[in-house]
Each structure stands twice: as C-alpha cells, then as structure tokens.
Amino acid sequence: MAQGHAYRRCAHEAEFRAALAAVTSLQFRAEFSNSVDTGSLDNARLSLYTVALPAPRAVCSGEQVQIIAELTSGAENGPYTLRWRKDGAPMDAIANPSVVTLLLDLGAAAVGDAGRYDLLITSACGEHATAAAQLMVDPADVGVPGGVPGHDGTRDNNDFVVFIDAFFGQRVEADVGSQGGQLGSDDAFDNNDFVVFIDQFFTEC
Ligand SMILES: [Ca+2]
Ligand SMILES: [Ca+2]
C-alpha cells in the first residue's frame, strides 16, 4: 500500500478484505457520530502479531520440555516484550528467565506443568495474547490404588476407573482427545477422549 494513499471512492468489501490480508499494522483516524455526540480517534494504531505455536503435546513426567513460539509477523512494528502465561496467569520470570523469550524452557516436566500456555506480547500499541499451546503430562496416569484420583507413576486399572468416572462426571482430566482422535482438549466428552486415553495408556515413558 503506497504511503499516504487515500481511498476516496466507495470501497467494496472484497477490496477491503484483500488489502487487510497483507496488513501487519493499521492506523485509524476516524470520527464517530450519533445524534447526541461526536468522538474521534486520532492515529490509533493496531498492531497485528501472528504467532505459530506447537500442537497439543503429551509428555512423560521427568521429560525435558520446551515450548517454542515463532513470531511470524508483527516484529517490524517496533519494540515489544514477551511473557508466557500458564492457564492465563503470567509466569514468574525470576524463577524461570525463559518466560520472557520465545522459547519457554520448562526443564523436567512435573504433573503440575500440565496446562495451556499462551504468550502475552506487549508493545506501545497495547497487549496481544496469542492462542494457547496445550501441554499434557502423563495424561493417562490419573488414578492411584483404590480408584482414587491422583498420579503415582504407574498405569493400571486404577487409571481406567478414575478416567471413566471423570469422563461421565465431565471432569477436565478426562478431556484428553479432540475430533479425529487427536490429542488435546476440546471441551467435549466423546469417543475421541477414549481413543486418546487408551493410546496414552499404552505409550511408554
Ligand atoms: Ca496411576
Ligand atoms: Ca474431548
């Protein structure tokens, strides 16, 4: 788009969409009116970041885990800072300095590391949250002796008992599969969760 180019005729929606498809930064100068009031926006700037994140992943506890985000557009809009969040909560950069970089290094995975990780990008234009990458840790190890919910590093009938109970109780630990028998939660409880659970049950750590 040529700098300073002004569209003076009526633009069609298709033209607008075509122009928008290649845009990585927008500036608005606009005036809004209704019968009561008039307000204006002057040089409001909207930066669009595009970030590629890994697909949902299951690991064994103790496995070394890194989650790598790739900033595919938006970096040209100027300085920005990064902060990984786990289940919506900003992660502690003192405990783990990698939480302010594109490569989140979780070290040896613990059961408590399971969750959804997204990246908050902060620039002069404001904050932008990415989609989330899901990490599952030993997702088939959900039961301990007595058929009680818990993690004991062993996969046996207790895990089946707890999984089935969680499935019919629609508890989050049973939502391990999504459409097509793919790994990852989708807020639905169906045969995909059984497929993935059984697959994970027989996956060796
Ligand atoms: Ca178990
Ligand atoms: Ca599911």
Ion ligand 1 residues within 5 Å by Cβ:
141, 143, 152, 154, 159
Q: How remote is the CA of residue 96 from the centroid of ligand 1, in Å?
A: 29
Mean pLDDT score, 24-52: 72
Superfamily holding 51-137:
Immunoglobulins (2.60.40.10)
Average pLDDT, the chain: 88
Q: How remote is the CA of residue 101 from the centroid of ligand 2, in Å?
A: 31
Q: Which ligand is nearest to the CA of 159?
A: 1
Q: Which ligand is nearest to the CA of 142?
A: 1
d(CA 23, CA 7): 16
Mean pLDDT score, 16-35: 72
Q: Cα-flanking dihedrals φ and ψ of residue 56, to 5°?
A: -50, 145
* % of the chain at pLDDT higher than 90: 67
Q: How remote is the CA of residue 162 from the centroid of ligand 1, in Å?
A: 9
Question: Is residue 86 over pLDDT 80?
Answer: yes
pLDDT score of 1: 46
Split at pLDDT 50, 70, 90, the class of 2 is: very low
Query: Residue 143's closest CA among 189, 174, 108?
Result: 174
In degrees, rounded to 5, the angle at the alpha carbon of residue 93 between the alpha carbons of residues 89 and 94 is: 125
d(CA 121, CA 144): 40
Query: What are the structure tokens assigned to 106, written together?
Result: 């979780």
Q: How remote is the CA of residue 152 from the centroid of ligand 1, in Å?
A: 5
Domain limits of the chain? 13-47, 51-137, 143-201
Question: Is residue 22 over pLDDT 90?
Answer: no
Strands 57-59 and 126-137, by their bridges, are parallel
Split at pLDDT 50, 70, 90, the class of 153 is: very high
Question: Is residue 34 over pLDDT 90?
Answer: no
Q: How far is CA 96 from the centre of its chain?
A: 19
